[in-house]
Structure 1
């Protein structure tokens, strides 16, 4: 086998489209929730960009953190663009144009998005400041949205991994060559 043949085999293997199986209604709902949550995040970051502050609406960063940023609006605009990219990554798991992306590439992006979204959801849940004696609507909403965010991203990533996995043949059922 020549080097060119090896390179061609590797290229064919790495760049082969995923062609996932069709997603069911539960998976489409999870992807829709993931996309909606990321677009809400993007809108919040655009709002904070317009204000020129770091943080989230209703929870701006302390003054000591604000002082660390020379251009806080630029940092928030970067975060907003990451929200748009993450929503496109989630959407790619159920669309035709997403089927053209190689499986390994989309799984890497999905896993990274899952980790980052889970960390953000944990921060949101911790920030809620649950007081069981006097529960507030905003704290309950933050806990609910954080939990839904984690579950939706987990369903999105796991379902894509399962729908794109190629079935393996047992050695006894493989055709003789």
Structure 2
């Protein structure tokens, strides 16, 4: 393994672990919100009318926490992507879809926090908690992009060699 390949592999692993940590932070935040019976995200409470459309807030937030655990597992699979072509492609497809989903959420919440998109809700009452949540989300997405790009590149090289 040459030096450039070694650096890319280290970056991919660091990105995957960062993405996993971001997903676990999301999971823990959803469990905490489920315990308190709240909707929304840390720093971004849901408007009161949102509660009318959710039958069981705790179950909804625990479902979101389960999704967070799934995203953490997918990110971990990027530390050392599966050797099987179809499994690797599945992990990459889910990763890129997750990146788009989480990245869209970060952009939307940032637009809400800055007042650029008033239709998304009022600016958060606690700017510090909102900024922390946005920073975690941005790091999560950045790490996942690095890991998925590395695994995509690695998978392409393996397929050419096959």
Same fold (TM over 0.5): yes
Q: Between Structure 1 and Structure 2, how many residues are aligned? A: 143
**Greater C-alpha radius of gyration:** 1
Partner residue of 2:141? 150
Q: TM-score, normalising length from structure 2?
A: 0.75
- The answer (yes or no) to whether the contact 1:128–1:142 under 8 Å persists in 2 is no
**Higher relative contact order by CA 8 Å / sep ≥ 6: 1 or 2?**
2
- The structure-2 alpha-carbon separation of the partners of 1:139 and 1:76, relative to structure 1 and needing over 3 Å to count, comes to closer
Q: List gaps (5 residues or longer) in structure 1.
A: 1-20, 131-135, 170-177
Structure 1 residue 102 and structure 2 residue 94: aligned? no
Shift of 1:137: 4.7
Q: Decide which moves more: 103-112 or 72-81.
A: 103-112
> Once superposed, what is the RMSD of the aligned Cα atoms?
2.5
Correspondence list, 1:133-148, <5 A: 137-138=128-129, 140-148=131-139
User: What is the distance in 2 between the residues matched to 1:140 and 1:60?
Assistant: 14
- The structure-2 alpha-carbon separation of the partners of 1:140 and 1:79, relative to structure 1 and needing over 3 Å to count, comes to closer
User: What is the distance in 1 between the residues matched to 2:97 and 2:159?
Assistant: 25
Partner residue of 1:63? 48
Q: Tell me the alpha carbon deviations over residues 70-109 of structure 1, each in whole angstroms, 9 at most, x when there is no partner.
A: 111111111000000001001011247x445722211221
User: What is the distance in 1 between the residues matched to 2:43 and 2:148?
Assistant: 30
Structure having the higher helix fraction is: 2
Q: What secondary structure sits across from 1:24 in the alignment?
A: helix
Aligned counterpart for 2:155 among listed residues 152, 164, 175: 164
Partner residue of 2:63? 78
Q: TM-score, normalising length from structure 1?
A: 0.69
Partner residue of 1:122? 107
Q: Tell me the alpha carbon deviations over residues 45-94 of structure 1, each in whole angstroms, 9 at most, x when there is no partner.
A: 00111112211233221110111111111111110000000010010112
- The answer (yes or no) to whether the contact 1:124–1:146 under 8 Å persists in 2 is no
Q: What secondary structure sits across from 2:24 in the alignment?
A: helix
